[in-house]
Structure 1
């Protein structure tokens, strides 16, 4: 039998090496694709986990009545309701102008008036410090009959979940009885709020939740002399207190109840 030529042997070896390299490249490419897919899945999963857990937390309160969310008014340390003389009805200031309010938080006063800015949209019921509208926008919501529940920076994650769940009880924009917003009260807000002598105002000692409402006589809502700012402070979240507050001070007894 004739011996194979050296050139043919080399070509065979080279071809074999190339085949092995090709298989290795395909395996390596598949591994890289697999890793990329895994990373992508993990990234999507991580991004989706927040909304999923938020949905799970919200759903925990689906069958819980408003008054049963959080603590009772007594256990939450809710104080007596305070009424003070109000001003600022129809006092519109230029958007972007900072208004110094005299109460913490505000229940009335001069405010911005610009479509899609002030008042804030009724569809949003809960805000964080990252996306909350300016005070001057939210005060316009108060003029339109909203109850705003303000929470300070010390509230726990469980209390935030309770406030979100309470907001869900007022979802929608067709029923004006659902004019409700939960919003943060921040250190920056405190700096923007002052009383005579430039003394900064704060929530009463030990309280971390505040409800505010801009009251007007339903028989004569534009009469400024009868308008009041209404406040109630609590140590913790109380669905019972919020329900009682909004029942006692409905959207109908405000300067502009039919405006959204």
Structure 2
């Protein structure tokens, strides 16, 4: 008589069921893990794209701002001349034509900030138009630039930041060419350590070293000219430079 087939024990059946359930749980876990990895990868990709866009956009922004500044009309920057709180232009006898002092020598000027006087043998680079407190040359260096026909606009180093920005924008309206008399412009900060005497209630002082164009080397005909203003005004600077052009300097073609 044939023997009966053995029946699967309950234990064997449960083990098989448990294995299937375990595999299902593992598959579900792996699917969830991969989904989370994809989500994180997409998030990281999105962040990278945003950072790349920002890195690309900032130089473009700087270029556009610089282009706008260079393309701007000087008279449109800052307040109008009538609103700038400017004193009348003053003139007085100039001193120091071709009087050089050794680098490092501290010169005491009759006017502060100066508009003429003894100075260092070499001027500041003719292609730089704006200085901050971090990179400004010595006062005596910039006086040499005055002798060569530059309009130097001295500004308080404590002047409001928005006005300093306006002055820098004005400086960008001039080209980097040193041979163009119309572009002989420098803006430079003045601090208390440079000397007392900056006009009370004023933030900028426009200065020029004037000479008689028909006899520029005659010091008795030379004048220091200046105009102090409470606020930055491109229009005031434009009018000042038109009245005292770089060609009417002791050494307008000096280098």
Counterpart check, 1:158 vs 2:154 = no
Counterpart check, 1:107 vs 2:115 = yes
Q: TM-score, normalised by structure 1?
A: 0.73
1:91 is displaced (CA, Å) by 0.3
Call closer, same or farther: CA 1:224–1:155 in 2, change over 3 Å: same
Counterpart check, 1:134 vs 2:144 = no
Structure 2, unaligned runs of 5 or more = 1-43
> 1:195-239: CA deviations, max 9, x gaps?
xxxxx3222x21101100001110111111111100001011100
Cross-structure match for 1:226:
221
Q: 1:235 aligns with which of 230, 235, 252?
A: 230
Q: 1:69 aligns with which of 69, 73, 77?
A: 77
Distance of 1:159 and 1:58 partners within structure 2: 17
Q: 2:148 aligns with which of 144, 149, 155?
A: 144
Structure 1, unaligned runs of 5 or more = 1-33, 191-199
Does the CA-based 8 Å contact 1:102-1:201 persist in structure 2? no
Q: 2:239 aligns with which of 232, 237, 244?
A: 244
Q: 5 Å matches for 1:39-188?
A: 54-113=62-121, 118-173=122-177, 174-188=179-193
Does the CA-based 8 Å contact 2:205-2:227 persist in structure 1? yes
Q: TM-score, normalised by structure 2?
A: 0.74
1:123 is displaced (CA, Å) by 0.7
For the residue of structure 1 that corresponds to 2:81, the secondary structure is coil
1:153 is displaced (CA, Å) by 2.1
Does the CA-based 8 Å contact 2:78-2:232 persist in structure 1? yes
Call closer, same or farther: CA 1:54–1:181 in 2, change over 3 Å: farther
1:120 is displaced (CA, Å) by 0.6
For the pair shown, the structure with the greater C-alpha radius of gyration is 2
> 1:132-185: CA deviations, max 9, x gaps?
010010000000000001110232222122111111111222312211001101
1:63 is displaced (CA, Å) by 4.3
For the residue of structure 2 that corresponds to 1:70, the secondary structure is coil
Does the CA-based 8 Å contact 2:71-2:173 persist in structure 1? no
Does the CA-based 8 Å contact 2:152-2:186 persist in structure 1? yes
